[in-house]
Amino acid sequence: MSLSARIARTFGITEDESRPVLIGATLFFVMFAGYFMLRPVRETMGVAGGVDNLQWLFTGTFLATLAAMPLFGWIASKVPRRRILPWTFGFFAVNLALFAIAFQRDPENAWIARTFYIWISVFNLIAISVIWSVCVDLFPSAQAKRLFALMAAGASIGGLVGPLLGIALVGPIGHAGLLWLAAAFLVVGIFIARHLQRWRDAQPAGENLSAQARARPLGGHPFAGITTVMRSPYLLSISLFVLLLASVTTFLYFEQARLVEMKFPDRADQTRVFGTIDVIVQSLTILSQVFITGRLVQRLGMAALLVAVPVVTMLGFVWLAFAPTFAVLAVVMVVRRAGEYAFVRPGREMLFTVVPTEAKYKAKNFIDSVVYRGADAVSGWAKALVDMLAQQPAIAALLGAAIALAWALTGAGLARAQARVEKEPLPEGLDVAGEGLRR
């Protein structure tokens, strides 16, 4: 039996779909291996810049994201769809090389650390969003429900390998060496994406999936992402879902940074701690994506992906309110992040398979970056204000539980809306705020 046949039989897909699953999973692997190798470095730089300054870093990240969006919108408008990812990855690879040189020359500079923290916080959302934009552009909704979880498993494997590489290599090659290696991963990702495009070119498809369509620019203007979102109740609901997700994440993130700074003052130790948490998260995520996610969505629908994790997170916040220790926080962080990668992220991306092509790139990237980082900034200041006024971690935890409940309710509504739109898909070029999205 061939490898394709074995994959198809094991994971419940057709043999023809095994090749794009492998290519897509490999693309996610190289991207996430590079990012998660740097993620502990980012957390270390955030602590180096001062835990009390995190809300300023989040605000700076939001402003940097706002500045980056017109540039990405211009690229998406002028560059053929199939070249959006190579241009984006190439730009970020050059940036990583410049940061590597800066770290080599002045590794203790706090402002370089803060700048890198802001830059990588913009990079990770845009780069990951671009990969998912390519996938939702190449696969219709029915295929996406079968394939996305398996392809995302490549991200989780990369997310497991990345921190292991970081833990092993941060001593021998330093932070600068990790940046050079991550830049190489991005370059490899460009060539893998080309193979995925070639596979789709060989498949029969409608106009929105054809090679001729992907060879043309999307057109429109650089700010089309925000205008499209503001006209669409469906996309606004996705924005609210992402806003609540980011707010929950920020509340937990601030507590993590505070407790790690207290327990692990050495930078290398901090990088190892953050890397160890990432390893645990990604190990759980891989098991879930390979054996649970796809079967769960086929049996229980998308609501299971979009609601379960928010509900569990809400219960975790309540637990944290009564037991505000690092051990409890670590458990809640691991469960929330593993659940997000295994269930919430694939479900969230499936929501975009029913929208027009321009929205899959421009509106999606606006939501994934500007809305997400805007929520980070606002919730970061809110967390700092609550801590200052209440002087009790339990208050912030209970507020986080309330936000998680709203997140769960929004996810349930989105699952119903996606099912309605999937039955009556919008033709290409129709206003995404059309009647099909209003019902």
Please enumerate in sequence order all residues whose Cβ is within 8 A of that of 257, keeping only pairs 6 or more positions apart, or say none: 43, 46, 47, 51, 54
| Residue 436: predicted pLDDT | 37
Answer whether residue 205 shows pLDDT above 60.
no
Nearest Cα to 363, choosing from 257, 265, 227, 237? 227
pLDDT of res. 389: 76
Q: Flag whether pLDDT at 208 surpasses 80.
A: no
Percent of the chain at pLDDT above 90?
20
Q: Which residues pair with 232 in a beta bridge?
A: none
Average pLDDT over every residue of 156-171: 83
Q: Which residue has the higher pLDDT, 394 or 424?
A: 394
pLDDT beyond 90 at 95 = yes
pLDDT at position 196: 86
Most confident of the following: 89-93, 114-118, 173-177, 324-328: 89-93
Q: What's the pLDDT tens digit per position in 342-394?
A: 889 888 888 988 888 778 888 888 898 889 888 888 888 888 788 777 667 78
Higher-scoring residue by pLDDT: 216, 269: 269
More confident position, 359 or 76: 359
Tell me the two tokens of residue 93. Answer: 């690879």
Residue 237: per-residue pLDDT: 95
Mean pLDDT to the nearest integer, 73-92: 83
Examine the pLDDT at 113 and tell me if it is beyond 70: yes
Task: Read off the pLDDT of each residue in 239-244 and give the average, rounded to a whole number.
Answer: 95
Residue 433 has what pLDDT? 41
Q: In which band, very low, low, confident or very high, does the pLDDT at 341 lie, cut at 50, 70 and 90?
A: confident
Query: Which segment of 68-77, 89-98, 303-312 scores lowest on mean pLDDT?
Result: 68-77
* pLDDT the model gives residue 432: 45
Question: Mean pLDDT throughout 57-78?
Answer: 80
Give the DSSP H/E element, type plus range, for residue 277: helix 267-288
Structure confidence at residue 10 (pLDDT):
64
Q: In the predicted model, what is the mean pLDDT of residues 55-73? A: 81
pLDDT at 254 over 90: no
- State the Cα–Cα distance between residues 268 and 43, nearest whole angstrom: 11
Query: Which whole number is the average pLDDT over 166-170?
Result: 82
Buried b (16+ CB within 10 A) or exposed e, 342-366: bbbbbbbbbbbbbbbbbbbbbbbbb
Task: Look at residue 416 in the predicted model and tell me its pLDDT.
Answer: 92
pLDDT average, residue stretch 15-39 = 86
* More confident position, 299 or 142: 299
Rounded distance, CA 43 to CA 253, Å? 10
User: What is the residue extent of each domain of the chain?
Assistant: 9-438
Q: Which residue has the higher pLDDT, 136 or 404?
A: 404
> Buried b / exposed e across 290-312, counting CB within 10 Å, b at 16+?
beebbebbeeebbbbbbbbbbbb
What band does 297 get if pLDDT is binned at 50, 70 and 90?
A: confident
pLDDT-based confidence at residue 435 (cuts at 50, 70, 90): very low
The answer to whether residue 94 scores a pLDDT higher than 50 is yes
**CATH class given for the domain over 9-438:** mainly alpha
Residues found in the chain: 439
Residue 187 burial class via C-beta count within 10 angstroms: exposed 0-12, middle 13-18, buried 19 and up:
middle
Q: Report the percentage of the chain scoring pLDDT > 70.
A: 85
Q: Measuring CA to CA, which residue among 70, 63, 77 is closest to residue 223?
A: 70
Please give the pLDDT value at position 26: 92
Provide the pLDDT for residue 245: 94
Confidence (pLDDT) at 310: 95
Provide mean pLDDT across the span 392-408: 89
Between CA 88 and CA 97, with CA 92 as vertex, the angle to 5 degrees is 150
Mean of per-residue pLDDT scores for the chain: 81
Task: Output the pTM of the full model.
Answer: 0.70
Higher pLDDT residue, 127 or 201?
127
